[in-house]
Structure 1
Amino acid sequence: MTTHAVSPPAPMVSRLLKPLEFLSAVLLVVIITFLFIGVVARYVFSIPIVWIDEVVSLSFLWLAMLGTAIAMHRNEHLRLSLFLDMMPKQIQGFVHALALVSIAAFLIALIHPAVIYAQEEWFVKSPALNIPNTYRVSALAFGIIAMLAILVTYATQTVSKSNLLGAIAVVALVAGGCWLGSGSLTELGLYNIIFFLVILVALCLVAGVPIAFCFGLGALSYLAFATSVPLMVVIGRMDEGMSSLILVSVPIFVLLGCILDATGMGKAIVDFLASLLGHIKAGMSYVLLGSLFIVSGISGSKVSDMATIAPALFPEMKRRGHKPKEMIALLATGAAMADTVPPSIVLIVLGSVAGVSIAGLFQSGVVIAMVLLVALAVLARWKARHEIMDQVKRSSTSVIGKTLLIAAPALVLPFLIRSAVGGGVATATEVSTIAVLYAMIIGQVLYGGLGWRKIYNMLVETAALSGAILLILGTASAMAWAITQSGVVQSLSQFLTTLPGGVVSFMIVTILIFLILGCLLEGLPAILILAPIMFPIARKLGIHDIHYSMVVVTAMNIGLMMPPIGVGFFVACRIGNSSPDEVMGAIWPYILALIAGLAIIAAVPWLSTVAL
């Protein structure tokens, strides 16, 4: 998922955003601090502090909505720009203006419902602190208004007046036509789902509208023009989709990935594996895959993993005769392999949305990643049969020992995370807090440390990325609710449960659906839209939740790296500084290796449940 290149916002907007950035950094520190105090109180002193969860919940929603505004300011909301970039230059400007006006229309439509929602929540008091819930949900209205102000300022200063007026006219014409014809639209039944939640969302994606707003526009338009449901439902679903305490671990693990990259802890792990395996054929490929496997267990972010590992390994791999396109292909598919290794943000969100045990997902994810690791390693060994090894020497025992000593504190972290969550000692949120504090202390003492300016920038960067992710969760939750209430889920359930072939046919359909959606969407939206639909059907067919989760996540991750549309594929090409056209041909054997591994995972449920 990429951002569309634009000019920076006005200096005045940048100055106004400074207080929001500072507040978001403070809120993230508050969340981590209070969570850590809660962990210590519960596990060390056996005195649970009941009001901490309420403080964290309030801070978390404000952090998320401040993050959405910062992401809007930085133009970092996730979007698909592939189709927009393919359009002729003379059309791009108007389509871009159309996307901006569509986002503005969505935000304007939500302001009144958000204010009413905050007013009505005044009568809902928190159990421990006994304060009105308005203090928490006011963040939604504030974030919506802040995003709108930033968007309008940017649009008026960077888009030509003719394109802007034309886009406003088109959006007004479409909205007016839908409003006038709303009586007829309500009679179309399920066809409205196709029009608003499929066609409209797809058109917005093609136009470069960020994914969060695509889902929001689809849900809002469907409810406004094809039903009598009040629009405040969209705000309520956004609140529910963004506010789960399980999701607090998302920004904390994002911050952990920033610390990993900034302190050099990831590079220390790479250096150790290189000293251990670098002297054998395909050794550097094994190091790359092994590093992704281990590092992903710390950062929880594919982009962070690839950005950490590629610069450390690619120069030596080139010296040994590896072609850049092959290296990037292995990097991309290795990142897809490693995304089931905890702490995977995708697994955390899936557990939250589908009601599946996160501890079970974490335990199973390691085994599933190992199956895919073997599939890629076998292919890498065959590809390396002509590797140049003349000048390669085995590292001495002293070098291996030295690199191990340096990497040991970093190597402890992924095992700490997996064992604590998998063993039920602590929740994913609690472990994420401990992991961040551990990484900060170890990074400060052993890996060169971090300056205050760097820490502040990481906190703000975390807020922006988390805001973009959590807004997707919120609007996708609204869209999923609209789909569920329409009755299409019941019809789809009946169709899928009566497919000839039963479980086998359903698994094949699942794999195809998530491969395709993995290409078109980033992983989280695909899960949020389909998990409430597909998991009940899987349970009805007797498929184990953990087994089905592993099939879904693996298929989605493979789709994410599949050219010519897969978003992760383009990210890997950018990190490796190579043309997607050049890498496209090289990646397919690795994709097929992953699909072979996926077929084994789907056919053998024991692999997903053996670690439970």
Structure 2
Amino acid sequence: MERQQPLLNAAQWVAPVEAALARLVEIPAALLVVAEIVVLLAGVIWRYVLHSPLIWSDELASTLFLWLAMLGSVVALQRNEHMRMTALVGKASPQTRAFLEVVAVAVPVLFLSLMVMPGVEFAIEEDFITTPALDISGAWHAAAFPVGSVLMLVVALLRLARTGGWQALAGGIGLVAGIAAIFVAAAPVLHELGNINLLIFFVLLVGTMVLAGVPIAFAFGIATLGYIGLTTNVPDIVLVGRMNEGMAHLILLAVPLFVVLGLLMEMTGIARTMVAFLVSLLGHVRGGLYYVLVGAMYLVSGISGSKAADMAAIAPVLFPEMQKRGEPEGELLALLSATGAQTETIPPSLVLITIGSVTGVSIAALFTGGLLPGLVLGLVLCLVVRWRLRGKVTPGTGLRASWGTVGKCFVIALPGLALPFVIRWAVISGATTATEVSTIGIAYAVIVGVLVYRSFDLKRLMPMLVETASLSGAILLIIGAATAMSWALTQSGFSQSLAAAMAALPGGQATFLAVSILAFIVLGSVLEGIPAIVLFGPLLFPIARQMGVHEVHYAMVVILSMGVGLFAPPFGVGYYSACAVSRIHPDAGLKPILPYLLALIIGVAVIAAIPWISIGFL
């Protein structure tokens, strides 16, 4: 069969337009990354060194951050780097694959075209609000969403123009438009269905789109928009506000900054010396660097308050060497995701602080109780690693290095090995907040790279900053869409119904804990950690007290269960954050992650059955 020609010979006119648009967006996005580093580092210096705090630094950083998130999303769409599941798409015939590729672009086009006007209305409303520190209009902050949406819409339309042939184009657009029309026509019926709509929009519709290869952020976004617009009387502008809130949360600013830190460590040679030391120490052990990954995530977790930032601090250091040794990238992605779930209770954790603030449980007790459960799950993951590698000849595994070689590698790597301790000291001493601490790491990496390792390639700086913006945009748009989806679930009254049902279950503590584990695994897959805690914590903790379950024990069970769901494909947002950070396609980790998830569930069950693990040191 003769190959179909793209629409209007698109390559002749689309490519130059896309190249010009890329330059228009990538340069400001890169400059925004630099601006965030400068603003936050200045805030640390003025407050901690000069004892004269800059009251406007956080406000400016938050405003710039939303622009970075939106422009980064545009860059990610241009580079086709938004997270999507293509396991089924890849197995389809060429004609079906071309059709699904059109659908994967047509859904973002529909979502973005419907969000532009609500975004403009939101910016106009924010114009009446003046920021407290900078004394500027709130529209400067809010305008990022409509501007980014318009730019993404242009990028998506250009991609449609060069995607497939006439038949695929007409079929894909027709399918998306037809399904949208059916939902609109069925609005009166949907209004009467109540919470059944949650199943229709957030399970069936989202699941179908994800399996069809639609980017995760847009699948979440269009389902939430459809639910709000067709089953409630809530205006679409509220969705814009919720997405803005999710993306502009200042603690998430650690994500792009830790990405920069990881890339700097690789560029300056810090990562290379650290990996050389780890190889000399554990290189002779089968799968030694797998154990290093588990331990490193345990040590680093909680510093930034963002799991994506924790992974961004580790993956760029270890993964290149592990891939050189021939380790399957799917295995690396699976273990990185599993360690993300494993370390949810390691202090100082924003989830622990949130659960303490909304339930009244002592935060100090939560910090103490969170260490051992994380260690138990770490040991469980190490057992899975050992089982997975049984009888396998690991490439690169050789003879044990002499202690002299290990000592030499340690001295060379010492400046890099000191970095995690410098970062943790900066947080614990109060010199920086969890958001600002990454700037200390960046400054440290630059100084060590220039003065100690004498390696700093200026030519790589711009591509590194653009890569940071793209990666950050892909992660933050998913988080923004997930935040809006969690808000929609809150408004449905679903949380109160679930709490009442759990309280009425027979069987006492054991049944309550078992159902809590299952419920929070499911909730964790559709809600980010903090929204789920805020939503269900005040409802379920009083029930746990009535049943005689210790509050700290219940907190550990809830947080770890939610973490399993958060990092479980195909819906878990954390899994796609791990994919974005590691630059590994989501499909690669689908099978390898299953034994790790099973092990985590068993580990959580053990922690639930043995309260001492959580409360033994209180």
Give the structure-1-normalised TM-score. 0.82
1:103 deviation in Å?
Answer: 1.5
User: 5+ residue gaps in structure 2?
Assistant: 1-5, 546-550
Q: Quick check: 1:22 aligned with 2:27?
A: yes
Aligned partners of 1:37, 1:567: CA distance in 2, in Å? 32
Change (3 A) 1:193 1:413: same
- Residues 40-70 of structure 1: CA deviation (Å, up to 9, x unaligned): 1111222111111221111111111101111
Change (3 A) 1:359 1:463: farther
Aligned partners of 2:588, 2:246: CA distance in 1, in Å? 37
| Code of the aligned partner of 1:309 | L
Residues 487-526 of structure 1 aligned to structure 2 (within 5 Å): 487-512=493-518
Aligned partners of 2:393, 2:166: CA distance in 1, in Å? 59
Q: Quick check: 1:600 aligned with 2:606?
A: yes
Match of 1:225 among 219, 224, 230: 230
1:526 deviation in Å?
Answer: 5.1
2:335 is matched with 333
Change (3 A) 1:285 1:465: closer
Q: Quick check: 1:427 aligned with 2:436?
A: no
Match of 2:560 among 543, 551, 554: 551
Change (3 A) 1:62 1:334: closer
Aligned partners of 1:118, 1:260: CA distance in 2, in Å? 39
1:169 is matched with 174
Change (3 A) 1:387 1:127: closer
Aligned partners of 1:201, 1:353: CA distance in 2, in Å? 28
1:479 is matched with 485
1:78 deviation in Å?
Answer: 1.0
Change (3 A) 1:574 1:68: closer
1:164 deviation in Å?
Answer: 2.1
- Residues 539-593 of structure 1: CA deviation (Å, up to 9, x unaligned): 332443852464135524773599xxx87999999979x9889x85xx7666555
SS in 1 for 2:192: helix
Aligned partners of 1:353, 1:152: CA distance in 2, in Å? 43
SS in 2 for 1:158: coil
Aligned partners of 2:261, 2:534: CA distance in 1, in Å? 29
Query: Relative to structure 2, which stretch is displaced further, 135-144 or 258-267?
Result: 258-267
Aligned partners of 1:258, 1:499: CA distance in 2, in Å? 50
2:3 is matched with none
| Code of the aligned partner of 1:415 | F
Q: Quick check: 1:94 aligned with 2:96?
A: no
Aligned partners of 1:364, 1:472: CA distance in 2, in Å? 31
1:154 deviation in Å?
Answer: 0.8
2:242 is matched with 237
Aligned partners of 2:181, 2:84: CA distance in 1, in Å? 27
Q: Quick check: 1:108 aligned with 2:134?
A: no
2:318 is matched with 309
Change (3 A) 1:99 1:388: closer
Change (3 A) 1:158 1:547: same
1:115 deviation in Å?
Answer: 0.8
Aligned partners of 1:392, 1:130: CA distance in 2, in Å? 62
* Matched pairs, number: 590
Aligned partners of 1:33, 1:184: CA distance in 2, in Å? 53
Residues 116-515 of structure 1 aligned to structure 2 (within 5 Å): 116-278=121-283, 286-287=291-292, 289-290=294-295, 300=309, 302=311, 305-306=314-315, 308-313=317-322, 329=331, 332-333=334-335, 336-337=338-339, 367-378=372-383, 394-422=400-428, 425-512=431-518
Aligned partners of 2:583, 2:257: CA distance in 1, in Å? 26
1:176 deviation in Å?
Answer: 2.9
Aligned partners of 2:117, 2:323: CA distance in 1, in Å? 53
Change (3 A) 1:465 1:352: farther
Query: Relative to structure 2, which stretch is displaced further, 243-252 or 354-363?
Result: 354-363
| Code of the aligned partner of 1:117 | F
Residues 40-51 of structure 1 aligned to structure 2 (within 5 Å): 40-51=45-56
Q: Percent identity?
A: 38
Kept in 1: contact 2:290–2:385 (CA 8 A): yes
Aligned partners of 1:209, 1:493: CA distance in 2, in Å? 33
Query: Relative to structure 2, which stretch is displaced further, 494-503 or 541-550?
Result: 541-550
Change (3 A) 1:273 1:293: farther
Change (3 A) 1:95 1:381: closer
1:169 deviation in Å?
Answer: 2.8
1:75 is matched with 80
Aligned partners of 1:515, 1:126: CA distance in 2, in Å? 39
Aligned partners of 1:573, 1:28: CA distance in 2, in Å? 19
| Code of the aligned partner of 2:421 | F
Kept in 1: contact 2:190–2:197 (CA 8 A): yes
Aligned partners of 1:271, 1:255: CA distance in 2, in Å? 21
1:3 is matched with none
Aligned partners of 1:330, 1:445: CA distance in 2, in Å? 33
Query: Relative to structure 2, which stretch is displaced further, 242-251 or 179-188?
Result: 179-188
- Residues 298-346 of structure 1: CA deviation (Å, up to 9, x unaligned): 9945477456435535777x8xxxxx67x97588436623665599999
Kept in 1: contact 2:352–2:366 (CA 8 A): no
Change (3 A) 1:551 1:10: same
| Code of the aligned partner of 1:555 | V
